[in-house]
Amino acid sequence: MIRKSHYHQLITLILVLRNVDPLDKIRIILLYIYNKGGITEENLSKLVSHAQIMEKDECIIRNMAKLNVPITMDAGRKKPPTINRKDRSASVKYQLSRFVPSIKDVMEVKETKKQEFIVNLVRY
């Protein structure tokens, strides 16, 4: 098992490497933020600067908030915000036999927002 300090060191080492693609660095940062339930604005800016992500690519991270993923949180808050999970008890035949990752909920929000955008685009 990787201890918390090693976890942070590994992420920092990967973000500093120049041969890692910027989109892979963004994915690592997003997974870290998603796992933590949000980070402070200060920590986000440190991660972005370590990764040397350009400002136009930083919007990828910040736009995840539009998909209901908590990106930043207050510095004084101890407990990370909970991610709203969809109730799937009716669609699962055996309640304990089916694991649904929380990222599926994020992707479903993305799909509904995409459909709403297309409907509004057709109206105009």
**Ordered per-residue pLDDT tens for the chain, 124 residues:** 456 667 778 888 888 888 989 999 999 998 888 888 888 899 899 999 989 999 888 988 988 888 777 888 765 555 555 556 665 556 656 656 566 676 777 777 767 766 665 565 555 4
On the CB side of 80, how many CA atoms lie within 13 Å of its CA? 16
Q: What is the pTM of this model?
A: 0.62
- Domains observed in the chain: 4-67 (1.25.40.60)
Report yes or no: 45 and 79 within 8 Å, Cβ to Cβ.
no
Q: How many CB atoms lie within 10 A of CB 60?
A: 15
